Amino acid sequence: MKYVRPLFAAALLSVATTSPALAEPPNPVPVSTVAPQNVVELVKAVEATYSNVESLSADFEQTSKGAGFELTMKGSVSLAKPRQMRWDTTSEPVGSLVVSDGDKLWMYLPSEGQVHVYQDLSSSASGSMAMDILGDLDSLDEKFETSMGEAGAGSYAVVLKPKPGMESSYLQIELVVAKSDYKLEKVTLTDLFGGLTIYSFSNLKLNPQLEKSTFTFVVPAGVEVIDPTKI
């Protein structure tokens, strides 16, 4: 279980969204044509880009680093407002599937023959500002103190630190976005103990049309169902 916990944190990181569900194709995602000169302009450009985003999909590579260990996993992620997600890790030997329909969340661990079912997302997804980050790319400055980070020639980086008094499981979060269209390229989470979790995204699509079945899960026959709140 210890190897999939970083993935579960990433899953919760994406469920705490509150915008209306996607009913019709949204307006095209706006892209600023003026290069930001400071962090304020950069944050405004990112927020503007994601203000009309109701869904996204991408491939990802996750690397978790801590004292004496490093683990890399790969997979795909799909998100849709409100609070719907599918985080499918295909790497061996710790492949997993995390699905939320907006009300309930399933964490399926094939190698263990178990699925953990969280009945109440309102409590599971609260308590850490970093958990909201993928759903709050249009309102970064409301929750975080921001500064410019270092990135490659084709990217911008912004460092986010929770504002004083705000509860968070992370010291800081760094977002890297492409200069050309502000699409998210990388998220780096630094936890309270100095551990790093890095998510690199590719094939990112904003506002893809996602089937309803993407966010449903049927427990396979013979799989043990666990309620984590009763453990």
| Tally of domains in the chain | 1
What whole-number distance in Å separates Cα of residue 102 and Cα of residue 79?
A: 10
Could you tell me if residue 218 is inside a domain? yes
Q: How confident is the model at residue 182 (pLDDT cuts 50, 70, 90)?
A: very high
What pLDDT, on a 0 to 100 scale, did the predictor assign at position 4?
Answer: 45
Distances (CA, A) of 186 to 68, 158, 178, 199, 226: 23, 11, 10, 5, 32
Q: Which amino acid is at 1?
A: M
198 vs 122 pLDDT, higher one: 198
Q: Is residue 54 part of a domain?
A: yes
Residue 133 domain-assigned (yes or no):
yes
pLDDT tens column, 154-176: 999 999 998 888 877 889 999 99
What percent of the chain is predicted at pLDDT more than 90? Answer: 47
Would you say residue 143 lies in a domain? no
CATH code of the domain containing 112: 2.50.20.10
Residue 144 domain flag: no
Task: Give, in order, the Cα–Cα distances in Å from 147 to each of 33, 48, 73, 220.
Answer: 21, 18, 29, 46
Average pLDDT over residues 105-118: 92
Q: Which token pair is 87?
A: 């985080």
Helix (H, G, I), strand (E, B) or coil at 120: coil
| pLDDT tens, residue by residue, 19-56 | 333 333 455 555 556 789 899 999 999 989 888 899 99
Query: What range defines the domain where residue 87 resides?
Result: 5-138+194-230
Residue 188 lies in a domain: no
**Domain assignment present for 182:** no
Cα separation values, 37 from 41, 45, 155, 183, 218, Å: 6, 11, 14, 18, 49
On whether residue 207 sits in a domain, the answer given is yes
Cβ-Cβ contacts under 8 Å for 133 (sequence gap 6 or more): 13, 160, 173, 175, 187
DSSP symbol at 212? G
